[in-house]
Structure 1
Amino acid sequence: MSVKSNTCEPGMPLEQSAAMPVQDLKHFIPMQVRQPISKKALHSAPWKRILVLGGALLISALAINEMRAVLGVGGLTPIEYMVLILFALTFCWITVAFTGSIAGFVCVLKRTNKEPQYSDEPFNTRTAVLMPTYNEDPARLFAGLEAMAREVLEAGGGTHFDWCIISDTTDAEIARKEQQAVRLIRQRLAGSCHVYYRRRRKNIARKSGNVEDFCVRWGSRYDHLLVLDADSLMSGRVMAEMARRMQKNPDLGLLQTIPRLINGTTLVARLQQFAGRVYGPVVGSGLSWWTQKEGNFWGHNAIIRTQAFMQSAGLPKLPGKPPFGGHILSHDFVEAALLRRSGWAVEIADDLSESYEESPPSIVDLAVRDRRWCQGNLQHSRVIGAKRLHWVSRMHILTGIMSYVSSPLWLMLIITGLMLALQYQFVRPEYFPQGFSLFPTWPLMDPERALRLFAITMGILFGPKILGLLSFLCDRQQRHQSGGVVRIFISFIVEMIVSALIAPIMMLMHSGAVTSILLGKDSGWNPQRRDDGQIPWKDLWHRHHWHVIGGIILAIASYIISLDVLAWLSPAIIGMILAVPLSSWTGSNRIGRRIKQAGILKIPEESQMPAIWQLMESQLPHYQDQLTHTPSLADIASHHELLQAHLQLTDRLMPRPAGDIEAIDATAAIKIADAQCIEQAVTFLDDKEQARVQNTPALMKALAALPKTAQLQLEVSRQQLQPRENQRLVQLFREL
């Protein structure tokens, strides 16, 4: 079956509306749970959870008791109690990752030097590949989309996959380039598959609202939704395999891959992709091993059963104002929990490796992204108690919350540790407290226990990294492609050192994010930078000056207490004081290139670039060249063929109550009505108004109805023109 190539075909297929009911977090009855087709569809082995979670609980109990013994030689003071509580909270959080990594280590070793198994079962389902975008580079996005479409065709996907760009872009120029790219990709694929495009007028509920809008209007046409991000890239055989696994298991509601980071150019991006490539498999495989049918969703590079998603995962709007109220930002964890609550399995496909994404290029970009994620995860404090969620789903949600709350807890632990050291150093002990006592109370620590506890803590903290390194070295091909044992070990040391220096900066940034959210500040929604991480030093000082000042204060306080305390906190102090140059150096493409040339932090994909990435890069120059010739708004309005092609890709207007006209629509309409020609009207419109005009058929037609250029006008008074203008405005508002 072939698809007719037509660059003026509609942006989207015919709508096939279906309901996506909002889920009630406070009420859920057992009768709402679907009955699985297979009896074992939702069965997860308890012994795996006993090993991982029971082991984590046992280690935590032993460590907390050890800390109590360290502090409690002469009885616990209030400060020591505070240190003990903070230690317990922070330590328990890292032990699950440690015990899970042990399980993941065994899983990875079993797969070492083995190829994953791919099915060749014929397709009898339809999958919509959703590519949400928000002011992203259209050339990169469509080059990647074309590469994936071509590989899926080779993998036998054919017309069983439709490719849907669902845009929330607000930039007028980028929006025009997106439409130009749609026409271009349709020509290049020569009708071999369907490529669709829709840009929303309003960015309601951000990405989750974007996907929901697609589901409600077109979702019932498809069996599965394969959700990507703008920087996602997946091999065709993995995408086909995901659809086949969903087809084979009718009880599977969601299948999540573990994306690998690639294409990092700056030092911080290369650090992340090295860590993800070397340590990530044991952590991800461990998580998949013990969560089993109660896996998680990370928002992209995953396939979802459309029926399950629409019936079970409609997100409610939380009561109150942002940051804790309003639309749920971190929607993915919640959607996975709701799917599992309704009787669908959620699994992590840790064996499918050809799933990729890119990472932020600088510390500042990491902080911008994490600020948004932090707000979304803290919102989950109002979701975690939802009725009848599976307890593993609650653990996923709690882990997301703790991933940011742990930073202020670590900061409080450092501060209370300083207070404790200050107490030991300067506060005169009361050897004989009030009341009868045969022996004095000595405010001492047990040094042997303290040293043993330190070793345990370091082992738990760095255990996943060491296990990841060992499993990575066991793979001959990976070892060779990454430069051999010596270079891998040097990269391991570099990653440990630089990450240790960056860690206190990120701790302070996360602490600041948590504080600002608690103070009621919303994160907004900014597009993410992908390539260049270089930021002027003046801006870096503005972002990091409190981190530097905090490092100086910490250094002075530590020095006053004792040189031992100063030495103990020196890694954190150095990272904080050097925050500005560290942020600059780690975000530099030039330094990143030198590190890459030296073979440091090298990953296998740099020696043997994935075929899907090579294909994307081969397509990219063509899109970059063609999109430089994108017509302007004036050009589109001035040429009938361009206007018709534009209107074909423009989303329809939704019904509105009479008299409910948005200010931006009214302003744009008045400016168009006030102009004497198309060129003048375009100069009247600012970027936001141009973006709205481009997405509103009535406004585009009104703009196109004007003369192309200024013409000689008869001397007519303003009073004579006014009735004509009023008539045009009334008609235009009716069409809106």
Structure 2
Amino acid sequence: MRTTPKELTAIASDRRLLLVLLVLIPTFIGVWMFANTLPFGGAHPLEIALLILFGLLFTWLWIGLWTALIGFMLQMRGNDWLKISTLNTPSHGRPTPLASTAVVMPICNEDADEVFARLRATYLSLQETGELEHFRFYILSDSNQPEKWVDEELAWARLCREVDGFEKIFYRRRRYRVKKKSGNIIDFMRRWGKKHEYMIVLDADSVMGGASMVHMVQAMERNLHVGIIQTLPVSQGMDTLYARVQQFAGRLYSPMFAAGLAWWWLGDGQYWGHNVIIRIAPFMNHCNLPRMPGIKPFGGEILSHDFVEAALMNRAGYQVWVSYDLPGSWEEYPPSLTDDLKRDRRWCQGNLQHGGVMIAEGLPLMQRFLLVNGIMSYTGSLLWFMLLILTTILAWIAPPGAEVALEQAIQLLWITLGLLFLPKILSLLNALRDKERSASFGGRVGLSLSVLAETLLSALSAPVRMVFHSRFIILTLMNKTVAWGAQQRGEFVMSWLEAARNYAGTTLIGLVWGVIAWYASPVFFAWLSPVLLGLVLSIPLARLTSLGTLGRAARHRKLFVTPEEIQLPAELEEYRKGLKLYADERAALGEVDPFVLAVVEPMANAIHTAFLRPRRSQPESVRLRRAWMQDKALHEGPAELTSAERAELLNDLDAMHNLHQKVWSLPEVSFKKYWPVPGINA
């Protein structure tokens, strides 16, 4: 049965109206109950502010709860007839023909071996489907660290040789990083976009299954009104306790939430920037990001581009779907709470910019709401912080005899916390009812204990996030901008000193706040104690959860286990094989400076210079400066060159040819001393 866009719009309107009623009715009841329990009956200015904050937070809580409940019911029923993976599937059962698709991976100063091992696994998986002829791969580098981009070039050549992919895998590095990641994608489309119907966008930490990529293209071919299909990436491969807890939580809870979101989003959803397929022509025509008016941090280039691009695609009449049931989509989670918060700092500033986008002409109402929802993902923490601060003040000024009313308010807020944890319980029940599914999470006992431990750690870290997110918002409002760089992906042991430096402020807030709360009211202190405990324990929490030893110990005891660990998918097994292969090659080569390798080793020099364009003319001052740099490198050694000088030489075709020739003409002593390459002169 075919479903037209008009029919989908009508169904979506009915579903969203139902959701609005399900959210607003209990929210109004909750606010009314809360007002009746306050010391001044909701008439004091502080109480009015408190009720507004409570109403906003309660609304978002109910949206999340109903989304989870809907997702739970869909999972229990086992079928949703309106999902993009099966929408408008032809009745004849024959496979949908494919169209030309680009697989693009924007990268910036990443570990080349890890990136190309992931790309290798994805490529080989796609090759297994027999549909490789329809796909081309593009590595789009914004790396500005000389050693990184030399590594990337050599890794590209190595992969192409291994899989015979010189006509299917392409590498390009931008010299000028305009508009960061979104600009990198725009540059790709300007150069190669018209050659392809679709592009599948991967992150540097993405791995995708070939069968899933084929299904994505087929879904786009069946539904010509669809502009974007977002898969549900699941985290994998991490060892630190923090990352293992997060990847377990995402693997268990996210499918339920994603199913609920897809139910009321339908074709008016969002996408998350990676592990996604995009129809290129409308993206090129309608999704070029505007430059925000005003000064930074709200003005200038849009940092969080994906939500805005989804809104613009929707405005142009194309649908944006989440394919929550499509397997074979993986990513990696930040290894520690600190790294997670650093990422949140960038996303917070980007999402706050969406306040200006939200009022853009012609945006669908649903997209305006989703932009608000994205803003609330961070401002919600500030609202919660303000709610608790106002409640603390109210506990101080409450008149004698108001203790009972305060206790009733506390009961209401504990109910709120209960509702907050209900989605976790539903996800647990859904897994426990299926023996095979619960076994994939370490068994019923291990799964239950993992949910309990994850809930405890989540409760402890939530107040820390609240304080940091509030700080991020305040810093953004003070015009404190943030730069976007490569993320920490591998395991890194945080020292106690670093943990103390990062979280001493939150610890102090918890201690001072606890003293104030105790003197205000022992009952209020008891209610606030879960928040205070998380703040006071933030230093050991951040330090201990960053340890890979604790994460591996938990895995050994069947805690925080994910299905990918019980049965490793072929793509992830291939990724690990690629990592080992590349590590063995590096060990055999020995330690070598990538810049030195690009100058000395003939094949490396040929690969690098093949990416450079000859210059028609060069200012005399530039020519003299680069000649001086070459002399400096030859007579004092490449170690004396700054990173900027190395980059300038690596960008100059004539300089690289000249250095290569002159290095090989050096006396043997200087050659070995300054330009050592194992297997050649070392």
Q: TM-score, normalised by structure 2?
A: 0.90
Per the alignment, in what secondary structure is the counterpart of residue 569 of structure 1? helix
Which residue identity does 1:686 align to in structure 2?
T
Q: Which runs of 5+ in 2 are unaligned?
A: 669-682
Matched, 1:317 2:291: yes
What residue identity is the alignment partner of 1:51? L
- CA distance in structure 1 between the aligned counterparts of 2:36 and 2:441, rounded to whole angstroms: 45
The structure having more radius of gyration, on CA atoms, is: 1
1:697 Cα deviation after fit: 2.9
Equivalent residue for 1:672, pick from 629, 632, 636: 629
**SS of equivalent residue, structure 1 residue 304:** strand
Counterpart contact for 2:272–2:307, Cα < 8 Å: yes
In structure 1, what residue type is equivalent to 2:52?
I
Matching of residue 682 in structure 1 with residue 641 in structure 2: no
1:334-358 per-position Cα deviation (integer Å, ceiling 9, x unaligned): 0000000001111110110321111
CA contact (8 A) 2:103 2:202 kept: yes
Aligned equivalents of 1:187, 1:111: Cα separation in 2: 45
Matches within 5 A, 1:256-275: 256-275=230-249
What is the match of residue 101 of structure 1? Answer: 68
Aligned-pair Cα RMSD in Å: 2.9
> Any conservation in 2 of the 1:678–1:704 contact (CA below 8 Å)?
no
Write the letter of the residue equivalent to 1:71: L
Relative distance call for 1:635 and 1:107 in structure 2 (3 A) is same
Residue aligning to 1:138? 112
Paired with 2:528 and 2:7, the residues of 1 have a C-alpha distance of 51
- The 1:569–1:279 alpha-carbon spacing in structure 2 relative to 1, beyond 3 Å, is same
Pairing partner for 2:650 from 694, 706, 721: 694
Please give the alpha-carbon distance, in whole angstroms, between the structure 2 residues aligned to 1:184 and 1:377: 39
CA shift at 1:233, angstroms?
Answer: 1.2
Q: CA deviation at 1:197?
A: 0.4
CA distance in 1, matches of 2:74, 2:571: 26
Q: Cα gap change, 1:177/1:535 in structure 2, threshold over 3 Å: closer, same or farther?
A: same
- Number of aligned residues: 656
Q: Map residues 491-530 of structure 1 onto 2, 5 A cutoff.
A: 491-530=450-489
Alignment partner, residue 530 of structure 2: 571
Mapped contact 2:39–2:406 kept (Cα < 8 A) = no
Equivalent positions of 1:265-414 (< 5 A) are 265-414=239-388
Q: Which of residues 645, 669, 681 is equivalent to 2:607?
A: 645
The correspondence of residues 477-496 of structure 1 with structure 2, limited to 5 A, is 477-496=436-455
Change beyond 3 A, Cα 1:654–1:545? farther
Question: Aligned in 2, Cα 1:319/1:106: closer, same or farther, shift over 3 Å?
Answer: same
Three-state SS of the structure 1 residue aligned to 2:227 is strand
Looking at structure 2, the residues matched to 188 and 685 of structure 1 have their Cα atoms a distance apart, in angstroms, of 34
> Once the two structures are superposed, what CA deviation does each residue of 1:560-606 show, in whole Å capped at 9, x if it has no partner?
12221221111111211111111000111111111111111112221
Deviation at residue 122 of structure 1 after TM alignment:
5.3
State the alpha-carbon separation in 2 of the partners of residues 445 and 82 from structure 1.
Answer: 21
Q: CA deviation at 1:143?
A: 1.1
How far residue 192 of structure 1 moved from its aligned partner, in angstroms, is 8.7
1:172 to 140, 146, 156: 146
Residue of structure 2 in register with 1:592 after alignment = 551
> Structure 2 matches for 1:56-205, cutoff 5 A?
56-71=23-38, 74=41, 76-111=43-78, 121=95, 123-191=97-165, 194-205=168-179
Q: Please give the secondary structure, in 2, of the residue aligned with 1:464.
A: helix
**Secondary structure of the corresponding residue to residue 57 of structure 1:** helix
**Counterpart AA for 2:564:** E
Q: Distance in 1 between matches of 2:625 and 2:19?
A: 60
Q: 1:75 to 1:240 in 2, by over 3 A?
A: closer
Deviates more, 1:185-194 or 1:324-333: 185-194
Cα offset, 1:74, TM superposition: 4.6
More helix by share: 2
Cα separation, partners in 2 of 1:654 and 1:360, compared to 1, 3 Å:
farther
* Aligned residues of 2:98 and 2:218 also touching (Cα < 8 A): no
Q: Distance in 1 between matches of 2:182 and 2:439?
A: 42
- Secondary structure in structure 2 of the residue aligned to 1:517: helix
Cross-structure match for 2:542: 583
Residue in 1 aligned with 2:511? Answer: 552
Q: CA deviation at 1:186?
A: 0.7
TM-score, normalised by the number of residues in structure 1: 0.84
1:249 match: 223
SS in 2 for 1:165: strand
Contact 1:159 1:193 in 2 (8 A): no
In 2, the alpha carbon distance for the partners of 1:43 and 1:670 equals 69
Give the distance between the partners of 1:459 and 1:654, measured in 2 at CA.
67
Q: Write the distance in 1 (CA, Å) between the matches of 2:205 and 2:539.
A: 28
